[in-house]
């Protein structure tokens, strides 16, 4: 990556970065990094914040966002770049955590997220990309280039300073203590980069800077910089229903969806089962819907739809036919509330039980809990 492209990425995304000052139980102070993924939600490394007091979260960089054509017609600009280009000046400084830090149940996953109370709506957002673990070949990113952003302490500096480093992806590795893909980068590993961002030359987050891979008791600088790929970031955001809409776009509600497939009768000639019906629930903390399908029995379909609708009876719903014998039930106007999530789960369970009573077998894993032993 030439210096011009690296500088362009730094200029565009530096204002998405924040440092986190923490205090350990023994009183030691430390610093880590975090990056904004939309709607005031930040990603960092779990080990940066777990079991520590967060003393400060602060963004240090500003960015200028050009006016759109619509804004030029309706608003009077106050800031100009190079004397003639109307821009918005975007900066945030100190932030107040509204929710978090939050982690995945699997303690070995070095990802944490948190949501802040107020943030400039034009704050840059780091796009996470689509390179999930199962989509990656053995060396898809090897010898591609990246920009690493974070806040490693600089000796003699009076304040935390955002550091940018150009790097090359040297390897793509599976670690014995992790089930997720890691990348090894050529940049020098330093304390404070943890929780920071490795941004791919192709315009999206390569992943989250986590740790230095060491042998014996070497210093951080003597190890390889490792970057955790993006799938566990998506998982953590979805698990806590904090996945911003801008990151969910294009995934067709993959995240926060639970699907139960059904079959009945014997295996087919090929030895497999034919999927005859399904129920899936979607709940991202803002939008809620349940989809019912039954292709081989219209009466079962109608009963399943009635069962699901009845379970959601206290909420206003709208039924949308996706195709014959497949209907989606939208919960309308519901505020984010655990009771809505509980209602969606209850409707999924009740409908699954209805299928079981008609001789269908669930193909989901893990299975949805019902009182019927067939499911």
Q: Mean pLDDT across the stretch 65-82?
A: 68
Closest CA to 33 of 150, 180, 168, 183: 150
Location of each CATH 3.30.1360 domain in the chain: 256-362
Is the omega angle on the peptide bond into residue 101 within 30 degrees of 0, that is, cis? yes
Kindly give the pairing relationship between strand 41-44 and strand 79-81: unpaired
Among 14-23, 67-76, 206-215, 252-261, the range scoring the smallest mean pLDDT is 67-76
Under 8 Å between Cβ of 234 and 249: no
CATH class of 3-235: mainly beta
Share of the chain above pLDDT 90, in %: 55
> How far apart (Å, rounded) are the C-alpha atoms in residues 260 and 292?
10
Location of each CATH 2.40.10.120 domain in the chain: 3-235
CATH class of 256-362: alpha beta
Specify the pTM.
0.84
Compute CA distances 260 → 252, 280, 347, 348, 360, whole Å: 17, 6, 12, 9, 11
Q: What is the pLDDT of residues 19-59, one digit of tens each?
A: 999 999 999 999 999 999 999 999 999 999 999 999 999 99
pLDDT value, residue 83: 60
Among 133-137, 169-173, 322-326, 364-368, the range scoring the smallest mean pLDDT is 364-368
Under 8 Å between Cβ of 65 and 122: yes
Share of the chain above pLDDT 70, in %: 88
pLDDT value, residue 94: 93
pLDDT value, residue 180: 86
pLDDT value, residue 372: 44
Neighbours of 371 (CB within 10 A): 8
* pLDDT tops 90 at residue 119: yes
Q: What is the 3-state secondary structure (H, E, C) of 61-118?
A: CCEEEECCHHHHHHCCCCEEECCCEEEEEECCCEECEEEEEEECCCCCCCCEEEEECC
> How far apart (Å, rounded) are the C-alpha atoms in residues 241 and 222?
38
Q: Which tokens in the block code for residue 340?
A: 């809505």
Q: Mean pLDDT across the stretch 142-166?
A: 92
Is the omega angle on the peptide bond into residue 366 within 30 degrees of 0, that is, cis? yes
- The segment with the largest mean pLDDT, out of 55-69, 207-221, 255-269, is 55-69
pLDDT value, residue 337: 72
pLDDT value, residue 370: 46
């Amino acid at each position: 990556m030439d210096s011009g492209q690296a500088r362009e990425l730094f200029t565009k995304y530096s204002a998405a970065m924040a440092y986190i000052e923490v205090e350990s139980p023994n009183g030691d102070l430390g610093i880590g990094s975090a990056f904004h993924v939309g709607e005031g939600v930040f990603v960092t490394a779990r080990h940066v914040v777990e079991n520590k007091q967060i003393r400060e979260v602060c963004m240090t960089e500003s960015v200028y966002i050009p006016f759109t054509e619509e804004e030029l017609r309706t608003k009077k600009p106050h800031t100009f770049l190079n004397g003639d280009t109307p821009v918005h000046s975007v900066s945030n400084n100190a932030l107040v955590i509204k929710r978090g830090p939050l982690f995945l149940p699997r303690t070995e996953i070095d990802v944490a997220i948190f949501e802040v109370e107020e943030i400039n709506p034009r704050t840059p957002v780091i796009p996470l990309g689509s390179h999930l673990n199962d989509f990656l070949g053995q060396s898809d990113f090897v010898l591609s280039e990246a920009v690493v952003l974070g806040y490693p302490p600089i000796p003699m500096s009076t304040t935390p300073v955002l550091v940018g480093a150009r790097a090359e992806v040297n390897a793509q590795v599976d670690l014995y203590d992790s089930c997720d893909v890691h990348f090894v980068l050529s940049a020098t590993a330093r304390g404070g980069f943890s929780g920071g961002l490795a941004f791919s030359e192709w315009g999206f987050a390569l992943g989250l800077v986590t740790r230095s891979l060491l042998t014996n008791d070497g210093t951080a600088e003597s190890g390889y910089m490792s970057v955790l790929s993006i799938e566990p970031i998506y998982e953590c955001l979805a698990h806590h229903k904090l996945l911003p809409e801008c990151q969910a776009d294009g995934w067709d509600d993959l995240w926060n969806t639970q699907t139960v497939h059904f079959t009945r009768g014997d295996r087919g000639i090929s030895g497999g089962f034919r999927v005859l019906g399904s129920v899936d629930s979607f709940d991202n903390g803002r939008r809620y819907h349940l989809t019912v399908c039954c292709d081989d029995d219209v009466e079962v379909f109608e009963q399943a739809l009635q069962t699901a609708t009845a379970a959601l009876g206290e909420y206003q719903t709208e039924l949308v036919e996706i195709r014959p014998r497949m209907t989606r039930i939208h919960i309308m106007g519901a505020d984010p509330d655990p009771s809505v999530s509980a209602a969606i789960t209850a409707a999924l369970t009740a409908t699954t039980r209805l299928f079981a009573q008609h001789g269908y077998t669930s193909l989901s894993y893990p299975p949805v809990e019902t009182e019927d032993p067939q499911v």
